Each structure stands twice: as structure tokens, then as C-alpha cells.
Chain A
Amino acid sequence: MSQPRTIIQKVWDNHVVAQKEGAPALLYIDLHLVHEVTSPQAFEGLRQRGLKVRQPSRTVATTDHSIPTTPRSLPILDSIAATQVAKLESNCAEFGVPCFGFHSKDQGIVHVMGPELGLTQPGMTVVCGDSHTATHGAFGALAFGIGTSQVEHVLATQCLLQQPSQSFEVRVDGTLKPGVTAKDIILALIAKIGIGGGTGCVFEFRGTAISSLSMEERMTICNMAIEGGARAGLIAPDDVTFEYVKGRRFAPQGADWDAAVERWRALATDEGAVYDKSIFIDADALEPMITYGTNPGMGVGISQVVPTPETGKDHIERDSIRKALEYMDIEGGKSLLGHPVDVVFIGSCTNSRISDLRQAAAVFKGRKVNPKVRTMVVPGSQDVKRQAESEGLDEIFRAAGAEWREAGCSMCIAMNGDQLTPGQYCVSTSNRNFEGRQGKGGRTFLASPLTAAASAIQGSVADIRSIL
């Protein structure tokens, strides 16, 4: 009998094109997602070498990072961003790559668009010049972010040179309490292992609390694998996965579908397979999480106090907490509950899908956003936007006093003019709270859509459980 394997190993094995002594494996890439920020230099590289895109049929581009989230009828006012967006469109036209661009009805944040079009499928290798490519791992795909040199490699050869990663089992058992969400699971994991905890690893999320999640919740978890230091995180595909993928535009149809499901069912980790590392999280014990500092590992349960520098394990950690509290201008030893907030951002590839917007809308319904708070709701894609509008969610957001915007990365990365001003505090459903991430001098508290919406209403960091 062959050695029991993890799903990580199986997907890897299925994609090794060549493996030579002393060299990394050539790994075949099934789906390459491209966006405007990390691709222009790669296309230019192809041009300089006289190369073509080897498989345009495995490549899809969209614009998301640098585009405005104002109405699409308005032009892109930032001329540098406009040039970048135009460059993507001309590169795609020149190299024959399909592009769901600025005015496409399929445009969206690349990690929202891929799954909703059925491009992302179980067992695939998926790459994109974006670290949140891990999102697609929710389908049991090995999905990871790459740099622009590698974007060029994949465009030219549909392959990457890769060293295998270690496997890291993240078992989450139990039942989430009301007000506690997928976002809180992943923030709790990162708080526990730190932002370098998964370096060199691929996470496999499993356990009863994971298998009971919807696909969108699973995407939220895998999305932030990179914030735990892992390049990828995945979840074995099951009936929930197949149900989600079935019938989507680029999914296999008919007999191809049946054959695909049969292959996908064989991907789950074998009984007795050994992981390089393992960790357990008790879902019953979780509460809503929030970050207080300047990296995603600096998170606490919302009722807990922010650590003081003295609690650091060594002088570097003590310095790092001190520096973070200084930047955030908050005090250690106190809870964040009630801390004033200037902006609430609901969006990003972590939390901008229809279920996220429904959760936020349920909190906003019949309530008003605190007038001191600017609240932005940014759907992850045109498709999410249409769906939300068909359900009347946009009306709920507007009636509550929130802004309902066009799809894009927006204030998660603050490249497009949607940004904090120095000193502002933001409860954000995005994935990074690094210094200046949401605008120079801006201060980010990462949390779930429920916590963000509750904080918008209260005007300060709020515990969603108090208004449920």
C-alpha cells in the first residue's frame, strides 16, 4: 500500500512536471490570475525576450487594486493609476489574455472574482501576483502568491520552480458561538502562532468547525493564511465545495463534471497521513477577535485587555509592542471596547462577499451609523454588488448612513484614494494592520464584518454580542 498522504502532498504530486536532482520541482499551474499592479513588468519581460503567453486559456486578468470605487461612469482621475489600468488592458489584448477589466460586468477583486466565475476548482494549482491568493485554498486548491518574476515565468511556461512546503495541520473543532465568525477563527490562529508561525508551511484547516463553514467563510479563513506566515492554506473539498462550484461559468459540465467530482473526492488527506506541525483551536472557546497593534498577530479577544510591553517574552518583543502601542496611540492593560473610531471599512478579499454584506446589513437594518463615523461598504465584485442590490442591501446601507461603493480593493491597500488620514482609527474587515497600510499614519483595528458594523453604529469599538 502506498504511504498515506495529505491533500497538500496530493495536489503537489499531481502537478510535478519534472523534478531533477539538485533543482526545485517544475510545478504546473492550472490557473493564473493577473491584476494591474504586479503584471506590467512581467509582460514587458515577455516582450523583451520575444515570448508569448503559453496558455492564455489558463489565465484571467482583472483590475482591482488601483481603481477608484466611485461610480464607474466617472473616469479614473489618478493619471498614474489610469495608465496602469490601461496598460493591463493593452497587455491582455496584445497577448490574448482574457481581461475582465474596469468596465466588465465580471470585474472584481481577483480573489472574489475567481471563485464566483467557477475558475477556482478543487485540486488546482492557482497563482497570482498577490499574497492573498491563498484564498482559493478554500476549494482544496494549492494557491499561493508570487512575485512579478514568477508572474513572467507562469505567463511564459505555465510552470513555476518550487520547493515543497511543510504541512501544518490547523484543527478547529466545536461550534462557534453567536457573534463569532470565520474571521475570528483566523485572527485567533494568527494571534496564537504569530505572523511568522507558518513560514515555510502550507496550512490544512480541518475539524468540525471548519467543515460546517460555508465556502465564503472558508475563503475568509484561507485568505489570511499569509498573515500567519504560510504561503498557502487549504481545506479539503466536500459536498459544500461541489455544491458551490457546480454550474458556474468555467466549471466542468455534464460528464466532465461527474469525472471531476470523482477526482476531487480522492483529494482529502488519507487516514494516518503525518503533518510536519499541528495545532488545535477550540471553536467553542472563541470570542470576537480584534487587533490592537501593527501586525495581524497582535490580536486579542474583544473583551480582553491589550497587552502591555512588559508582557513581551524578550526585549525585541517588548520593543515591538511598545512601538505598536505608540503608533496606535493606545494604552496597554485596557480593553479596546469603547475606543473611538473614525472610519469603518467593510470590504477586501477577506470579507466583501455576499454573506459578509448580509451579516453587516443585518446589523445596520433599522439602525443609524454614528454620525462621527465614515462607513464604507465596498462589494468584492460587480456580481456581489448586483446580488446585494437585488436583495436591497444597498438600501439598508444607505439608510443607515453608510457609503455603498463600486467593487475593488479600496481601503484595504489604500492605493486608489480610499484612505485614512494620519491619526484616524478604522475598524476594518480587511487583512492587514501594518503601519500606514490604510493610508499614511492611519490606524487599523482588524475585525469581522459583524464587529465592524456594530462599531459603526456605536461610534467606537463594539462587542457585537451586546446588540445581537
Chain B
Amino acid sequence: MKPFTTLTSRIVPLPIDNIDTDQIIPARFLKTISKEGLDANLFCDWRYNEDGTPNPDFILNQPVAKGAEILLAGDNFGCGSSREHAPWALTQYGFRAILSSSFADIFKGNSLKNSLLPVVIPESVKQELFELREKDIDVQVSIDLEAQVLVLPDGRRIEFPVDPFSKYCLLNGVDELGYLLNHEAEISAYEQRQPWALNTLAGYTS
């Protein structure tokens, strides 16, 4: 996993509540067996016209979105399906952080495992940022994960929550599997204590 420490970037606004993972990456692109190439279809049904040409009204098709690494979205971002293809598509496109007033649980967990930082900000700050962005399309904000602050253009520092374990993993670019694998002894001991064990292999022949 790539470490995440600090980030300063322009913001891409999507002022819509409840953006679900079917919008982020429609299910028809989930037939792949790899993680790659999903960015081409990020927000596909909003981003492209019927004939496949880019929809010029959609933010990702505007020059100012090029190179921006922070998405600013409405409430409950990432609701719906558990597909990790959503954070894969977002990170492949170049996003490294998402600002919103809330995130759906599974999406949030999936993002943290892909160095994509979900930053929960107060509703009032979110609204202010949408307004700032409307006035100045080049407005930039900074994120400092170590300090857990979002720095607004006027220098105000907005604290945001991150659980200490995820923060450690992000700052150091380590993934959770290594940590889990280090608990082999505890896992085996737990299995020994179980009163009854499922056996899905009973009678199974492939």
C-alpha cells in the first residue's frame, strides 16, 4: 500500500448526496478479474453521453479537474454495493482523498485499504467548500494526516477523525494482512476452543 502523509490539491466538487457505488463504477464493469483499467469507467453513466462521447457538463470532463486529487462530495458517499472496484477506480483515476460529511461504512473501510483517505468534515465546512469552489475553480486545500487536519485556503485548520490503526497503516503504507498473519497462534488457539466447527468440505467432490 502507498503511504499517505500530506496532500495539497485542487478539489473536484460533486454536490450530490448518497452517491452510490453503482454510480462510481457501474456493475457491468465488474466482470473483470483484475483490478486494472477501472478508471476509464469511473462515474461512467454521468461522464459519457449515450454515444460514448464525453459529457462536457460533467466535472471530470472539464480541464480544471485534470490532476486534482481531492473529491468533495455530498453526504453518505459510497453507499450501496460493497464493491472495492469503487476505490480502485477512484485511485486509478488519481484521487487520493475524499471530503464529505459522511461515508457509507463498507466504502470507507475499502478506501482505507487502498490509500484513499475518507475525510469526514462538518456539514458547514462542506457547504463552505462547495461555495469557495464555485467562486474559484482553482481553490486548493491541504490535508495533513499526521495532524489529522484539513487546512482551508484561509488557513483555518479543521480536525477530522481517523482511527489510530488505520492512520498508522496509511502513514506507513502497510496493509492489514501482515498484522493479521502475525496472530497465527491466537487464531489457532481460538479454533481449538470452539465447541463445534462447520465443515463445508463434508461430502464435497469437485
Contact = CB atoms under 8 A, between A and B. Distances in A.
Interface of A: 17-18, 22-24, 26, 28, 30-31, 37-38, 40-41, 44-45, 49, 51, 54, 56-60, 65-66, 78, 80-81, 83-84, 87, 92-93, 96, 98-99, 119, 121, 124, 129-131, 144-150, 152-153, 156-161, 163, 195-196, 199-200, 226, 229, 231, 249-250, 252, 256, 259-260, 263, 295, 297, 316-317, 319-320, 323, 413-415, 422, 432, 434-437, 440
B198 A57 contact: yes
Contacts of A84: 31-33
Main secondary structure, interface of B, reads loop
A163 B28 CA distance: 32
A297 B186 CA distance: 42
B198 to A, nearest CB: 6
Contact of A250 (B87, B113, B198): B198
B45 interface: yes
Given A22-B165, A259-B196, A435-B45, A316 B15 contact: yes
A37 B18 contact: no
Interface string B101-141: 01011100110011000000000000000000000000000
B22 interface: yes
B165 A56 contact: no
Given A51-B181, A131-B82, A256-B196, 18 more contacts: A18-B186, A26-B183, A28-B187, A30-B198, A38-B82, A44-B33, A84-B32, A147-B87, A147-B106, A147-B113, A149-B176, A149-B177, A152-B177, A156-B177, A157-B183, A196-B75, A259-B196, A320-B16
Contacts of A422: 50
B157 interface: no
Interface in B48-95: 50, 74-76, 79-84, 87
Nearest to B28: A415
B27 A415 contact: yes
Contact of B82 (A18, A60, A93, A129): A129
Contacts of B45: 435-436, 440
Contacts of A18: 183, 186
Contacts of A200: 105
Contacts of B177: 45, 49, 149, 152-153, 156-157
B164 A231 contact: no
Interface of B: 15-18, 20, 22-23, 26-28, 30-35, 45, 50, 74-76, 79-84, 87, 102, 104-106, 109-110, 113-114, 163-165, 175-177, 179-181, 183-184, 186-187, 190-191, 195-204, 206
In order of increasing CB-CB distance, the 6 nearest A-B pairs are A147-B84, A147-B110, A196-B76, A40-B33, A145-B82, A149-B113
A31 B82 contact: no
A249 B200 CA distance: 10
